[in-house]
Structure 1
Amino acid sequence: MIKKITTLIITLLLVSVVTFVAFSVIPGDAAVAKLGSEATPERIEAMREEMGLNGTIPERYMRWLKGAVHGDFGESYQYRGIQVSELLAQRLPVTMLLAVLSLILILVFSIPLGIISARKEGTWVDVFVNLFTQITMAIPAFFLGMLLTYVLGIVLKLFQPGKFIMPQDDFWGCLRYLLFPAIAIAIPKIAMVVKFLRNSVLSEVKKDYVRTAYSKGNCTKKVLYIHVFQNALIPVITFFAIVCAEVLSGSIVVEQVFGVTGIGRLLVTAITNRDFPVVQAVVLYVTALVIIINFVVDMLYQLVDPRVRTE
Structure 2
Amino acid sequence: MLAQLTAKVLQTAVVLLIVSVASFSLLKLAPGDPVTLMLGSEYSQDTYDDLTRQLGLDRPVPEQYVTWLGDFVSGDWGQTYASRTDIFTFIVTEALPVTLTLTFFAILLALGVGVPLGVLSAVKKDSAWDVAAAVFALTGTAFPSFFLGILLIWFLAVKLGAFPVMGFVAPWQDPWGGLYHMVLPSLTLSTYFIGMIVRMTRATMVEVLEQPYIAAARARGEPEWRVIWVHGVRNILMPLVTIVGLQLGGILQGAVLTETVFSLPGLGQMLTGAVLGREYGLVQAGVMLTATLFILVNLLVDLSYPLLDPRLRPRS
TM-score, L = length of structure 1: 0.90
Counterpart residue number, 1:17 = 21
Q: In terms of mean alpha carbon deviation, does 222-231 or 269-278 score higher? A: 222-231
The one-letter amino acid of 2:228's match is: L
Partner SS state of residue 312, structure 2: coil
1:86 maps to which of 84, 89, 112: 89
Aligned-residue identity in percent? 32
1:263-274 to 2 correspondences below 5 Å = 263-274=267-278
1:198 maps to which of 198, 202, 207: 202
2:182 maps to which of 174, 178, 184: 178
Contact 1:103 1:244 in 2 (8 A): no
Counterpart residue number, 2:298 = 294
In the alignment, does 2:287 pair up with 1:283? yes
C-alpha deviations, 1:63-120, integer Å up to 9, x for none? 111111111111112322x111011121111111111111221121111111111101
C-alpha deviations, 1:282-307, integer Å up to 9, x for none? 11111111111112112322122111
Q: In terms of mean alpha carbon deviation, does 110-119 or 154-163 score higher? A: 154-163
Contact 1:250 1:263 in 2 (8 A): no
Give the CA deviation at 1:232: 2.2
Counterpart residue number, 1:105 = 109
Determine the C-alpha separation between the residues in 2 that align with 1:152 and 1:34.
Answer: 43
Give the CA deviation at 1:223: 2.9
Q: Cα distance 1:5–1:156, how it changes in 2: closer, same or farther (>3 A)?
A: same
Counterpart residue number, 2:146 = 142
Determine the C-alpha separation between the residues in 1 that align with 2:82 and 2:137.
Answer: 42
Contact 2:237 2:308 in 1 (8 A): yes
In the alignment, does 2:81 pair up with 1:77? yes
Counterpart residue number, 2:120 = 116
Contact 1:197 1:233 in 2 (8 A): no
Query: Which 5+ residue runs of structure 2 have no aligned equivalent?
Result: none
Aligned residues: 309
Partner SS state of residue 224, structure 1: helix
TM-score, L = length of structure 2: 0.88
Partner SS state of residue 71, structure 1: coil
Counterpart residue number, 1:4 = 8
The one-letter amino acid of 2:281's match is: P
Q: Cα distance 1:58–1:205, how it changes in 2: closer, same or farther (>3 A)?
A: same
Q: In terms of mean alpha carbon deviation, does 245-254 or 149-158 score higher? A: 245-254
1:1-80 to 2 correspondences below 5 Å = 1-35=5-39, 41-80=45-84
Determine the C-alpha separation between the residues in 1 that align with 2:173 and 2:239.
Answer: 41
Determine the C-alpha separation between the residues in 2 that align with 1:162 and 1:49.
Answer: 43
Q: What value does the CA root-mean-square deviation take over the aligned residues?
A: 2.4
In the alignment, does 2:236 pair up with 1:232? yes
Q: Cα distance 1:72–1:144, how it changes in 2: closer, same or farther (>3 A)?
A: same
In the alignment, does 2:191 pair up with 1:187? yes
Determine the C-alpha separation between the residues in 1 that align with 2:281 and 2:178.
Answer: 28
Counterpart residue number, 1:255 = 259
